Amino acid sequence: MNRRTFVTTTGAAIAGSLITTTTQAALTPITLEQAPLAYPPEALEPHIDALTMNIHFGKHHVAYITKLTDALKSGSIPAGNVIDLITDLSKAPAEQQMAIRNNGGGHVNHSWFWKWMAPAGSGPTGPEGKLGEAIQSTFTSIEEFKKLFGEAGTKRFGSGWAWLIVKPDGKLAVTSTPNQDNPLMKGIVADTDLGTPILGLDVWEHAYYLKYQNKRPDYIAAWWNVVNWAEVAKGYEAAKA
Ligand code: MN3
């Protein structure tokens, strides 16, 4: 059985398109449970402070889960894998779509965000192996990539995210979304910006204001110190498989 046949016959019930199905296949399912942090909240100091981590993980992320749970209850939608819900919002009842988009997006984005960070010095300090090669060949250098990604974060007006994605054709791209939208959301994000996120940066003020106030570029510059490049490489390999 070739890949297309396999996708068509097994994925048809859950997902409407080849892009959706292959994208989701690379991603670990996310339920309504909040996974514990893989490091203590103070472990990202001095780049990300403990108070911010405690509020961000313990209050903001939890609020997205609570509101998503409420929205699903009122619409009698089975939660299952939240990634499935946000990938194609047109499958949800119209009156629940905005709550699922905002809070489902919030839950998924933050679940990834905690994993995309690790204490400074605990792993590779930059992209290595195939990921490193792909970043260099796509963006000319690691520094150019960081510049582009940082600009995506600083230029995002208001709240949102900067992303490194693997597009359906396997190519890397830097994108940005407002609010809690993400590159999986068909019909919300432009088709050309759809892909599998392998790194994302939260540029909501709640992610940095206590330590960096209005200086978003300083937050972004410091954040590179705590990027979990081993996890990003894992995501890249899975998305390319
Ligand atoms: Mn946040």
Nearest to 224, CA basis, from 165, 159, 142: 142
Q: Where, residue-wise, is CATH 3.55.40.20 in the chain? A: 129-240
Residues with CB under 5 A from ligand 1 (ion): 202, 204, 207
- May I ask the CATH architecture of the domain 129-240? 3-Layer(bab) Sandwich (3.55)
Å from CA of 24 to ligand 1 middle: 22
Å from CA of 37 to ligand 1 middle: 14
Å from CA of 50 to ligand 1 middle: 14
Residue 1 has a pLDDT of: 37
Residue 241 has a pLDDT of: 86
Å from CA of 13 to ligand 1 middle: 32
- Is domain 9-115 annotated with CATH 3.40.50.740? no
Residue 24 has a pLDDT of: 61
Q: What is the DSSP string of 183-237?
A: TT-BTTB-GGG--EEEEEEE-SGGGTHHHHTT-HHHHHHHHGGGB-HHHHHHHHH
Å from CA of 202 to ligand 1 middle: 6
Assess contact for 198 and 166: CB atoms under 8 A: yes
User: Is pLDDT above 80 for 170?
Assistant: yes
Tell me: the pLDDT tens digits for 56-111? Answer: 999 999 999 999 999 998 877 777 899 999 999 998 999 999 999 999 999 999 99
Å from CA of 53 to ligand 1 middle: 10
Q: Calculate the average pLDDT of the chain.
A: 90
% of residues, the chain, pLDDT over 90: 84
Residue 15 has a pLDDT of: 36
